């Protein structure tokens, strides 16, 4: 993945310095590190398991219908 630089509002303006831009690749890596260190270690709740099973069932129904 190549790094992309965007301004905080999503646009890179002519003459803008790098310090005013956001490195989206670095941001993604940082967010992944935080996620893997906290959320990813939590167990999946029964409610989420139920939602995933219902989603799988709905996908099967849609495949059969087409």
In the chain, domain spans: 5-65
pTM of the model: 0.41
Which residue do the tokens 């301004």 mark? 7
Q: What is the pLDDT of residues 9-31, one digit of tens each?
A: 555 566 555 555 678 889 999 99
Nearest-Å Rg of the Cα atoms of the chain is 20
Report whether 31 contacts 49 (CB < 8 A): no
Q: What is the pLDDT of residues 26-47, one digit of tens each?
A: 999 999 999 888 887 888 899 9
């Amino acid at each position: 993945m190549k790094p992309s630089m965007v301004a905080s509002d999503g646009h890179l303006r002519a003459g803008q310095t790098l310090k005013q831009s956001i490195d989206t690749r670095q941001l993604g890596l940082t967010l992944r590190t935080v996620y893997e260190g906290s959320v990813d270690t939590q167990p999946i709740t029964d409610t989420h398991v139920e939602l995933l099973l219902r989603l799988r069932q709905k996908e099967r129904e849609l495949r059969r219908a087409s």
